[in-house]
């Protein structure tokens, strides 16, 4: 009985922490909400990624990774040993993703950070699904520090200051955009 209460308490606490963090990030920081990329989008993103022909050891970041859908699909479908790094700010989302990845015995490395406050200069490819305001801030950061020739694949949102090298229409108003930095 005490165990049920304890587990219930942990779950309720995690949900409350999630709601507070999500509210704070959306209202006061303008950060993107926790919504996962659709499977159709992920499949196309992986297809575009594979065309890049990146080799073993390339550093691939999912910026604002949530459950790390892009990295998980990449790990599952590729034979190449990439360096896979997911960055997530919300503690409860990060913890849940870590739990899932350890159950899957995944090689993906998760970091709990604000990607606007960490170095991204070693990234060879970035995947993200954010929002317009956050893409504008990310663009300024990438202009300063991204490797020349690194690739960013964006679900839906433009990267201001860059022209996409590819724009794939996936629905009435849904696009996947590939940028060369
Ligand atoms: C729309 S979801 C996308 C999740 C996942 N990448 C996908 O495509 O399924 C955006 C995620 O980015 C996270 N996020 C937003 N701003 C962030 C920031 N500055 N640093 C790290 N994570 C952030 C949110 O908490 C959320 O989990």
The enclosing domain of 58 has a CATH number of: 3.40.50.150
Alpha carbons 143 and 150: distance in angstroms, whole number: 11
Give residue 5 CA to ligand 1 midpoint distance, Å.
Answer: 31
Alpha carbons 154 and 143: distance in angstroms, whole number: 16
Number of structural domains, the chain? Answer: 1
CA angle 129–55–175, rounded 5-degree value? 25
Which domain range does residue 91 map to? 34-180
Top pLDDT among 64 and 5 is at 64
Report the candidate in 126, 118, 176, 131 with the shortest Cα–Cα distance to residue 151. Answer: 126
Which residue has the least CA distance to atom 6 on ligand 1? Answer: 65
Q: CB–CB of 59/85 below 8 Å?
A: yes
20, part of any domain: no
Residues 45-55 have pLDDT tens digits of: 999 999 999 99
Residues 53-94 have pLDDT tens digits of: 999 999 999 999 999 999 999 999 998 999 999 999 988 889
61, part of any domain: yes
Give residue 38 CA to ligand 1 midpoint distance, Å.
Answer: 14
- Within 10 angstroms of residue 45's Cβ, the number of other Cβ atoms is 25
125, part of any domain: yes
2, part of any domain: no
Residues touching ligand 1 (Cβ under 6 Å) are 31-37, 62, 64-66, 69, 87-90, 93, 114-116, 129-130, 134, 155
């Amino acid at each position: 009985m005490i165990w049920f209460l304890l587990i219930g308490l942990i779950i309720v606490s995690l949900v409350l922490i999630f709601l507070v963090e999500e509210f704070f990030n959306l209202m006061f920081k303008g950060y993107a909400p926790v919504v996962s990329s659709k499977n159709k989008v992920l499949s196309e993103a992986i297809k575009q990624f594979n065309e890049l022909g990146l080799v073993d050891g390339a550093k691939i970041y999912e910026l604002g990774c949530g459950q790390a859908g892009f990295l998980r699909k990449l790990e599952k479908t590729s034979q190449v040993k990439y360096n896979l790094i997911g960055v997530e700010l919300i503690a409860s989302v990060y913890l849940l993703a870590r739990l899932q990845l350890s159950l899957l015995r995944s090689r993906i490395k998760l970091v709990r950070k604000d990607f606007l406050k960490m170095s991204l200069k070693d990234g060879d490819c970035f995947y993200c699904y954010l929002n317009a305001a956050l893409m504008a801030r990310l663009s300024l950061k990438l202009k300063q520090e991204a490797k020349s020739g690194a690739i960013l694949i964006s679900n839906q949102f433009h990267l201001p200051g860059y022209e996409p090298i590819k724009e794939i229409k996936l629905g009435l108003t849904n696009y996947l955009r590939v940028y060369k930095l």
